[in-house]
Structure 1
Amino acid sequence: MAGAQNDGLSLAERRKQLAAKRAQEEAAANPQGASASGVNVTPEMPLHSLVHNPRNARRNMEGVEGLAETYETTGVLQPCLVVPVETFRAAFPECAEDLPAEGHVVIGGNRRLAAAHQAGLATLPVHVSTNLKTREDILVAAATENIAREELKPFEELATIEELKTELGTYDAVAKKLGKTGGWVSQRRRLHHLQPELRQALETRTPGMTIELARDLGKIKDRDQQLKAWRTAQHAADRAANPATAQQPKTKKAGKVPAQGGPGDGPGTPLEDTAVKARREACLLTVATGAGDLARLSIIAAQVPVDPDEALALAGQWLTEAAVGSSALHLATLSGEEGTDRQRQGALALALAHCELHMTRTSGTESTHARAYADWLETHTDYQPTDAEPAPTA
């Protein structure tokens, strides 16, 4: 086992080797080509007999040129998943005119097929599925392939979810089929609520606009409030990119923001914990947009023991970075801002700071509060407690 871990190969490369080994073993055990899993192992298939999936959610396949260059030197390492044309035509009769009389439709690996054409290859390794027969089977297989490889753009991903919902009936069923949580699906559905200006900003990758921010903005149903939150987030991004030109508001000296490590870390310890980084980035985005269930968060925050000065300092830092200004927390000005968005952002920042400091100090070992806080973040932001390794994209 030790040798396998120290062979110099990445996890993705070891997976490819294991997949290739299994394919060879299946081919040897089943000389007629049928595997126990319902997949026929075909070493190579002529490119002219393979066609793109006409229902593929990916409209523009990026990175094909680079992949083609790789294929010219190393060949194609991962087979495509295909089904016979007649099987696809039976599942999608509306696509019959777009398909040839015979051949195979690529369900998983359309980018590989495009790159193989560009590289001038004559054949492509494939797995011919005998299990994918129905419309639902094929849609789920294609969606799982694209989403697992993170190959879909945000609105393509949303369209895939909606198409699956039409077939499966509920969003819970979609999440289950894709091996995702209900929250994962809900986060992506928020893009439905984006105003046209924000949709364009996301599609054109406008500076400051990220998929995480777009999903947070999608929680705001009111058009004016959504656009205002976007302008606030843009301002925050500009300040972060050009700190020298940002005008810092004159406020009273805040307490020192505690180090973001676990218990026992000394003052000023550099942040090394990626989980803490992810949580605090999610907190900053929440403060910038002013979105989230403040009542639920306040109940959690009221039951965690932390130093109030430290919480005030951390909340002030987030408010400053979000271009709201830490003066939103000054007691003397509260009565003059009653009910304002600025006051709501201040309350969010302070409640989040209480929860975050408690989580950091206890390293999440205090299960009740930690779980409630993590649940809030997962519900209202794109924070994920663990990040799975992305699937190989070759």
Structure 2
Amino acid sequence: MAGAQNDGLSLAERRKQLAAKRAQEEAAANPQGASVNGVNTTPEMPLHSLVHNPRNARRNMEGVEGLADTYETTGVLQPCLVIPVETFRAAFPEDAAELPDAGYVVIGGNRRLAAAHQAGLATLPVHVSTKLKTREEILVAAATENLAREELKPFEELATIEELKTELGTYDAVAKKLGKTGGWVSQRRRLHHLQPELRQALETRAPGMTIELARDLGKIKDRDQQLKAWQVAERAADRSANPVTGKQPKPKKVSKVPAQGGSGDGSGTPLEDTAKARREACLLAVATGAGDLARLSIIAAQAPAAPDEAVALAGQWLTEAAVGSSALNMATLSGGEGTDRQKQGALALALAHCELHLTRTSATDSTHARAYADWLETHTDHQPTDAEPAPTA
């Protein structure tokens, strides 16, 4: 064992050697492709006999060139999962015209097949499944393979979920088949509600756009509100990336407003970076209307702050989030302001109480500080620094 550790190879290289050795042993034990648990193990198969899955959710296969470079030096260590063309044609007759008369369809490993072609390989290691026969079995196998390898983009995941729902009938059944929670499926379905501009931002990985933010924005049904919330997130991302040149919108002048750049105690003392980061997270939470309001309200009730200052700070966030500070106007609470808007107002006010209290006490109120930091980390992209209190579990 000592010799193995001193052979000059990295752990990854030793793993590759072990995988190659196991593949050779498997091929020697099953020279004719004997069936093992419904999967025929075939050491190598000519590339010309393999075709891409026409229903593969992953349309744009990235990273193929880098994978091809790897194959040229180390070969292909992970076999592809394939089924006979005739089996696929029987399950999906509508796709028959795209397939040859014979050969095998790659269910798991379409990117490997593309890379093998680019690398100029003649053969590819495969597992031939004799168990995948129905539409449901084939779709679930392909989805499980892609999701397990994290090979799908967000909208490809969504397309996979919708296709499986057509076959299985309910989203609960989709979650169960994929070994996921109902919440996992619901989060991805929110992407249906994204406006085209936000879809493009997510697809192109625009600065500030994350899958978590996209799902939160998907909760907002109104087009204008959704776009304004994204603009708030863009500005926050720009200020974080360019602390010197990034420009912050100037809040309206209101008496006793604790400015985003000030401590909020009336002294005009600039905020520390940790406090600035928290307030950016607060603004984004207000813009998206996201978060557990009941939990935050309990935390806020134990965070004393001057009422006028809390209303002023909350109003500033509501104004910057394009919700409008009138969401806090008590005269409108009896009528037609809209429950979503009022929720954002309540969220902003609760956050303002927490933020002002934490800023003034400098986190000496450890119980409140931990609860507040935990809420921000759970419901926003905010990540506490080492200087902030660690959130509780």
Identify whether the pair has TM-score above 0.5, normalized to the shorter chain: yes
Residue 124 of structure 1: aligned partner? 124
Taking structure 1 as reference, are residues 352 and 162 closer, same or farther at Cα in structure 2, changes over 3 Å only? farther
Q: 2-side partners of 1:382 and 1:241: how far apart?
A: 14
Does structure 2 retain, via aligned residues, the 8 Å contact 1:40–1:129?
yes
Note if 1:297 corresponds to 2:293. Answer: yes
Note if 1:199 corresponds to 2:199. Answer: yes
Residue 97 of structure 1: aligned partner? 97
Larger Rg belongs to: 2
Alignment of 1:231-246 (within 5 A): 231-245=231-245, 246=247
Residue 346 of structure 1: aligned partner? 348
For residue 243 of structure 1, give the secondary structure of its aligned residue in structure 2.
coil
Residue 64 of structure 2: aligned partner? 64
The root-mean-square deviation of aligned C-alpha atoms, in Å, is 4.7
Residue 111 of structure 2: aligned partner? 111
Residue type of the alignment partner of 2:227? L
Taking structure 1 as reference, are residues 155 and 255 closer, same or farther at Cα in structure 2, changes over 3 Å only? same
**Greater shift in the superposed pair: 28-37 or 102-111:** 28-37
Taking structure 1 as reference, are residues 155 and 348 closer, same or farther at Cα in structure 2, changes over 3 Å only? farther
- What is the CA-CA distance between 1:21 and the residue it aligns to? 5.4
Residue type of the alignment partner of 2:105? V
Gaps of 5+ in 1: 257-267, 271-276, 365-369, 384-394
Q: 2-side partners of 1:20 and 1:317: how far apart?
A: 62
Alignment of 1:267-286 (within 5 A): none
Alignment of 1:190-339 (within 5 A): 190-245=190-245, 246-247=247-248, 251=258, 254=263, 287=285, 289-292=287-290, 297-299=293-295, 301-302=297-298, 308=304, 324=320
- What is the CA-CA distance between 1:175 and the residue it aligns to? 1.3
Residue type of the alignment partner of 1:140? V
Does structure 2 retain, via aligned residues, the 8 Å contact 1:216–1:289?
no
**Greater shift in the superposed pair: 104-113 or 141-150:** 141-150
- Count of aligned pairs: 344
- What is the CA-CA distance between 1:254 and the residue it aligns to? 3.2
Deviations 1:118-141 (A, max 9, x none): 111111111111221111111111
Alignment of 1:125-164 (within 5 A): 125-164=125-164
Q: 2-side partners of 1:241 and 1:72: how far apart?
A: 39
Does structure 2 retain, via aligned residues, the 8 Å contact 1:58–1:152?
yes
Q: 1-side partners of 2:5 and 2:294: how far apart?
A: 46
Q: 2-side partners of 1:301 and 1:164: how far apart?
A: 39
Q: 2-side partners of 1:14 and 1:202: how far apart?
A: 38
Q: 1-side partners of 2:140 and 2:42: how far apart?
A: 23
Does structure 1 retain, via aligned residues, the 8 Å contact 2:68–2:119?
yes
Note if 1:185 corresponds to 2:185. Answer: yes
Q: 2-side partners of 1:5 and 1:322: how far apart?
A: 60
For residue 70 of structure 2, give the secondary structure of its aligned residue in structure 1.
helix
**Greater shift in the superposed pair: 15-24 or 160-169:** 15-24
Higher relative contact order (CA 8 A, sep 6+): 1
For residue 69 of structure 2, give the secondary structure of its aligned residue in structure 1.
helix
Taking structure 1 as reference, are residues 76 and 361 closer, same or farther at Cα in structure 2, changes over 3 Å only? same
Residue type of the alignment partner of 2:154? P
Q: 2-side partners of 1:360 and 1:24: how far apart?
A: 58
Does structure 1 retain, via aligned residues, the 8 Å contact 2:51–2:106?
yes
Taking structure 1 as reference, are residues 128 and 151 closer, same or farther at Cα in structure 2, changes over 3 Å only? same
Taking structure 1 as reference, are residues 14 and 358 closer, same or farther at Cα in structure 2, changes over 3 Å only? farther
For residue 78 of structure 1, give the secondary structure of its aligned residue in structure 2.
coil
Does structure 2 retain, via aligned residues, the 8 Å contact 1:67–1:115?
yes
Q: 1-side partners of 2:205 and 2:143: how far apart?
A: 23
For residue 206 of structure 2, give the secondary structure of its aligned residue in structure 1.
coil
**Greater shift in the superposed pair: 199-208 or 170-179:** 199-208
Residue 173 of structure 2: aligned partner? 173
Q: 2-side partners of 1:300 and 1:181: how far apart?
A: 25
Q: 2-side partners of 1:308 and 1:302: how far apart?
A: 12
Deviations 1:241-281 (A, max 9, x none): 2322434767275389xxxxxxxxxxx9x9xxxxxx9xx89
**Greater shift in the superposed pair: 63-72 or 281-290:** 281-290
Does structure 2 retain, via aligned residues, the 8 Å contact 1:116–1:124?
yes
- What is the CA-CA distance between 1:227 and the residue it aligns to? 1.6
Gaps of 5+ in 2: 252-256, 266-271, 383-393
Taking structure 1 as reference, are residues 301 and 22 closer, same or farther at Cα in structure 2, changes over 3 Å only? farther
Does structure 1 retain, via aligned residues, the 8 Å contact 2:193–2:219?
yes
Q: 2-side partners of 1:44 and 1:318: how far apart?
A: 65
- What is the CA-CA distance between 1:30 and the residue it aligns to? 4.2
Deviations 1:107-127 (A, max 9, x none): 111111111111111111111
Residue type of the alignment partner of 1:102? A
Residue 44 of structure 1: aligned partner? 44
Taking structure 1 as reference, are residues 323 and 242 closer, same or farther at Cα in structure 2, changes over 3 Å only? farther
Does structure 2 retain, via aligned residues, the 8 Å contact 1:287–1:349?
no
Q: 1-side partners of 2:203 and 2:229: how far apart?
A: 18
Residue 392 of structure 1: aligned partner? none
Q: 1-side partners of 2:381 and 2:88: how far apart?
A: 36
Deviations 1:163-189 (A, max 9, x none): 011111111111122121111111110
For residue 244 of structure 1, give the secondary structure of its aligned residue in structure 2.
coil
For residue 65 of structure 1, give the secondary structure of its aligned residue in structure 2.
helix
Residue 273 of structure 1: aligned partner? none
